[in-house]
Amino acid sequence: MKICLPNLWIAKLFLLLLPVLGFSNGLAKAATPPIHVGHSITVERTVNGLIAGQKIRRIILAEKIFFNENITTENDSVIVIQFRDGSTFEIGANGSAVIDELAFNPAEGTSIKVVTLTQGTFRYISGFIAKKSSMVLNTPNGAIGIRGSAVSGVIQPNVPTFFHVSSGSATFTNDAGSSSINEGQSMAAPSRTTPPMRPERMPPAVTAQVLQQVQATLGTPPAAQALSPEQRAADAVANAVSVTLQQSTQSQAARLTPATVATTATPPAGLSLLTQAANVGLLSASTATVPTAAQRAFIAAAQTTVPNAVAIISTASAQDKQQNKANTAAGTATVITGASENAQSADQISAIIQSAVGANPSAAGAIAASATVGAASNNAVSATDAAQAVTSGAVQGAVGAGADVNAITQAVAGGVVAGTVQTGGNVAEVVAAASDGAVRAAASANIDVSGVARASSAGMVSAAGNAGLDVAAVGVASQLGAVSAAGDVGADVSTVIASTTEVVAAAGGSTNDTAAFEAASGPDTNTIESVPEPEIENPNQNASPN
């Protein structure tokens, strides 16, 4: 599908300037368009949204979710929100939440989220890894600061606030103090003024019963969804706004207080042990180190009620951790692809890759592949400029993170080849440009240029072999790009030739084999009609979380 480029860029520019124009011209706050924070990827039964100054709306699948929107769920209803950074937030039946803040910019390496949840079962699983990342969940009994990863729990009237950390860590803070919760631990707070308990005091049976309640309400953790081109473009435009401007715009909006949702006065049976633990005084830091007779009796009875508690906790945590890894991969691919599709210059792509690789070096290959795929449909940036930007940004990111630059370069070079093959691009030209970018970045960072050149060639040759390409031709193209860049930046060309010749020779090529370079060329990238997009669910149908 072809998009009219001028109209698309006019629309993007308009969206980027809306917050600035709105406030610089002194327009009323109500005139500022809602800021979208993500999309609904699962909606079961009745979920409503309310934005200040607007009517209540019924939220359906694949709709935008907005900053400062009060989201409420009715009986037996569930919503899963996929934020712009690929993280997911689930809200169960009779829930009420407001997105207080979302400021995400992948180039700046910052992701800040603040959500107020006054009621409901919840599960949060992180996505794209940013160097500066925070998620705060405000509850009636205190604030949960999440670092990482995967956290689930229950906020119910007349029941202690409970949460479990399956992956990562968290800090709970209320009016009486704070407590740190590590991976695999849980804690609960009966009130804002109760000193936060030590998580090691939480009986496993209590945690297991609550996690069973979470599972019954929300189902297994949902996978992050592939977005449509239009959704990726909307996210990319919003993500390109500086974090400072995003926060400034959001800070000037009138805040909503989450609505109270009617619910039964009697807590669900699945939370009975949690309530009993509070009644015997187990959920407070002021509790004595040695359990009382009543506490010992409760712990023993709870173990009888849930005899397989440890296994239940282990299974639930493993599911959340597995989905956390999947979310990270999917979020990375979605954010990087969308950013590269919609970047206005190669420099923008380079900045995003530098930040992404610096924060998550182990995903360097996947980051490069996603950037290459996205850039293939970007008419504002050529395939060769994008390839040069990707490897240059990756080398800079690796240097900044103190990572193994050669290993990162090799992975990124392979990712560039894989992405080019996927989109039917001109492999020879892209390979040469990518090696050029890696060498220039290495010279700029004053690190071993020949080592980076060799790593780039090795990664490309390996990826070419996996794709069934002429590895000798790819090796030659990579060497030519590296040698040319080395000459331009005043590096020792002889060492670059020597290091890359080893790779070329092992692949069966020759330094003078110009025919091989031509053999590596694929179709002209300008003839590509479109990039295949991942399938998405029918936006007119609701989906179940199970």
Whether residue 44 is contained in a domain is answered as yes
Q: What is the mean pLDDT of residues 186-207?
A: 96
Same domain, 90 and 235: yes
Query: Are the CB atoms for 414 and 363 separated by under 8 Å?
Result: no
Whether residue 208 is contained in a domain is answered as yes
Domain boundary among 298, 316, 334: 316
Residues 248-264: tens digit of each pLDDT: 999 888 777 787 776 66
Percent helix, strand and coil across the chain, each to the nearest 5: 50, 20, 30
What pLDDT was estimated at residue 224?
85
Q: Which residues span the domain enclosing 413? A: 343-527
What are φ and ψ of residue 239, in 5° steps? Answer: -70, -20
Query: Among 5-19, 93-107, 199-213, 223-237, where is mean pLDDT lowest?
Result: 5-19
Residue 137 DSSP symbol: E
Whether residue 80 is contained in a domain is answered as yes
pLDDT above 50 (res 423): yes
Mean pLDDT of the chain: 87
Same domain, 239 and 128: yes
Same domain, 93 and 224: yes
- Exposed (0-12), middle (13-18) or buried (19+): which is 290, by Cβ within 10 Å? exposed
Give the separation between CA 496 and CA 477, rounded to whole angstroms.
Answer: 14
Same domain, 157 and 52: yes
CATH number for the domain that contains residue 199: 2.60.120.1440
pLDDT above 90 (res 469): yes
Whether residue 334 is contained in a domain is answered as no
Same domain, 243 and 354: no
Same domain, 349 and 248: no
Query: Among 71-85, 114-128, 263-277, 361-375, where is mean pLDDT lowest?
Result: 263-277
Residues 183-192: tens digit of each pLDDT: 999 999 999 9
Whether residue 281 is contained in a domain is answered as no
The per-type count for the chain, helices as H runs and strands as E runs, is 16, 14
Percent share of the chain, pLDDT over 70: 86
Same domain, 87 and 184: yes
Q: How far apart are the first and last CA of the chain?
A: 33
Q: Which amino acid is present at 460?
A: M
Whether residue 29 is contained in a domain is answered as no
pLDDT above 80 (res 312): yes
Predicted structure pTM score: 0.86
* Alpha-helical runs (H) found in 424-492: 427-444, 449-466, 471-489
pLDDT above 60 (res 409): yes
Same domain, 487 and 380: yes
Query: Are the CB atoms for 101 and 255 separated by under 8 Å?
Result: no
Give the separation between CA 488 and CA 478, rounded to whole angstroms.
Answer: 16
Give the separation between CA 413 and CA 461, rounded to whole angstroms.
Answer: 9
What pLDDT was estimated at residue 34?
72
Q: Is the pLDDT higher at 410 or at 17? A: 410
Whether residue 6 is contained in a domain is answered as no
What pLDDT was estimated at residue 510?
56
Measured in whole angstroms, the distance separating CA 485 from the mean position of its chain's CA atoms is 34
Same domain, 257 and 350: no
What pLDDT was estimated at residue 6?
39
Whether residue 191 is contained in a domain is answered as yes
Same domain, 212 and 352: no
What pLDDT was estimated at residue 376?
96
What pLDDT was estimated at residue 264?
61
> What's the domain count of the chain?
2
pLDDT above 70 (res 265): no
Residues 335-374: tens digit of each pLDDT: 999 999 999 999 999 999 999 999 999 999 999 999 999 9
CA of 176: how far to CAs of 81, 143, 200, 422, 429, in Å?
32, 12, 19, 56, 63
What pLDDT was estimated at residue 523?
40
Query: Are the CB atoms for 45 and 519 separated by under 8 Å?
Result: no
